[in-house]
């Protein structure tokens, strides 16, 4: 075999090997950059202080229960209002002067980002429904720039809101003050999918969590 033919064979092998390496690197890159699906949260995955004792050990099949509440316009809001929608939920009260203003500002920021997205809505539940009448919610909504088609602020029966908070959204604490349905809301925002499953928890007071929530909405939309 001449030196020239040996070099030609080596050259061909080198080209083949280089192409093979590029293909392998491209495959690895694509695998590493595929977005992982968001988790589906179950009661057993959440801090016990946020979960009703009757479901603390539940590990599958958890969904947001049916509900019927009233929004800032006096309109009935049910699970059907959010049928086939992705939505962000939280718990608040209009007279709160601590974390609520920050949370509401961040909800407003999310509202701006999803304003033209028909698949995504917002839902805020009052934990002081006796104080937060329809008129009070309407006043608050006007002050905070709530857009009715995107964001419902809801009030209603305290027992129902308590049960939603503790048995569905896994989002509030109790302080044992003797009120059977006493609630202390947290800073949590919950991301709910079109099957009424919890897909994420976020600190509604932290800008970086809001950025992650917006990213996770886009990830979730890729499932549909």
Q: Can you give the residue range of the structural domain that contains 89?
A: 43-221
| pLDDT, tens digit (0-9, with 9 covering 90-100), for 112-134 | 999 999 999 999 999 999 999 99
Q: Are residue 71 and residue 8 in the same domain, yes or no?
A: no
pLDDT for the residue 5 = 54
Q: Give the CA distances from residue 45 to residues 56, 112, 123, in Å, rounded to whole numbers and listed in that order.
A: 9, 31, 23
Task: Taking residues 191-214, report their average pLDDT.
Answer: 98
Q: Say whether pLDDT at 222 is over 90.
A: yes
**More confident of the two residues 28 and 47:** 47
Q: Are residue 103 and residue 122 in the same domain, yes or no?
A: yes
pLDDT for the residue 3 = 46
Q: Give the CA distances from residue 55 to residues 85, 125, 168, 199, in Å, rounded to whole numbers and listed in that order.
A: 25, 21, 10, 18
Q: Are residue 28 and residue 47 in the same domain, yes or no?
A: no
Question: How many helices and strands (H and E) does the chain possess?
Answer: 5, 9
pLDDT for the residue 99 = 95
pLDDT for the residue 8 = 53
Instruction: Give dist(CA 79, CA 94) in Å, integer.
Output: 23
Q: Which residues contact 88 (CB under 8 A, 6 or more apart)?
A: 107, 110, 120, 121, 122, 123, 189, 190, 191, 192, 213, 217
Q: How many domains does the chain have?
A: 2
Q: Are residue 30 and residue 74 in the same domain, yes or no?
A: no
pLDDT for the residue 9 = 53
pLDDT for the residue 182 = 86
Q: Say whether pLDDT at 154 is over 80.
A: yes
Query: Residue 23: which pLDDT band, with cuts at 50, 70 and 90?
Result: low
Q: Are residue 71 and residue 125 in the same domain, yes or no?
A: yes
Query: Residue 6: which pLDDT band, with cuts at 50, 70 and 90?
Result: very low
Q: Say whether pLDDT at 24 is over 80.
A: no
Q: Are residue 148 and residue 172 in the same domain, yes or no?
A: yes
| pLDDT, tens digit (0-9, with 9 covering 90-100), for 155-192 | 999 999 999 999 999 999 997 666 788 889 999 999 99
Q: Which residues contact 221 (CB under 8 A, 6 or more apart)?
A: 86, 119
Question: Which helix (H) or strand (E) segment is 126 a member of?
Answer: strand 120-126
Q: Which long-range contacts (CB under 8 A, 24 or more apart) does 216-223 make?
A: 216/38, 216/191, 217/86, 217/88, 217/114, 217/120, 217/191, 219/35, 219/37, 219/38, 220/38, 220/86, 220/191, 220/193, 221/86, 221/119, 222/35, 223/37, 223/193
Q: Say whether pLDDT at 93 is over 70.
A: yes
pTM as predicted: 0.84
């Amino acid at each position: 075999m001449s030196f020239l033919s040996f070099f030609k064979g080596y050259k061909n092998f080198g080209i083949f090997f280089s192409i093979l390496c590029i293909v392998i690197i491209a495959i690895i890159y694509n695998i590493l950059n595929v977005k992982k699906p968001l988790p589906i949260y179950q009661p057993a995955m959440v801090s016990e202080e946020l979960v009703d004792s009757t479901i603390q050990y539940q590990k599958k099949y958890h969904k947001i229960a049916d509900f019927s509440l009233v929004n800032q316009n006096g309109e009935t809001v049910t699970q059907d209002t959010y049928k086939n929608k992705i939505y962000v939920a939280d718990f608040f009260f209009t007279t709160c002067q601590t974390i609520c203003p920050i949370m509401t500002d961040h909800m407003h920021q999310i509202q701006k980002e999803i304003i033209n997205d028909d698949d995504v809505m917002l839902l805020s539940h009052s934990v002081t429904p006796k104080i937060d009448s329809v008129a009070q919610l309407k006043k608050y909504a006007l002050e905070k720039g709530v857009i009715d088609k995107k964001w419902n602020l809801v009030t209603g029966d305290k027992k129902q809101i308590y049960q939603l908070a503790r048995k569905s959204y896994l989002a509030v604490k109790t302080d044992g003050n003797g009120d059977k349905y006493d609630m202390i809301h947290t800073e949590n925002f919950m991301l709910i999918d079109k099957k009424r499953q919890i897909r994420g928890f976020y600190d509604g007071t932290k800008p970086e969590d809001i950025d992650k929530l917006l990213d996770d909405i886009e990830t979730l939309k890729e499932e549909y």
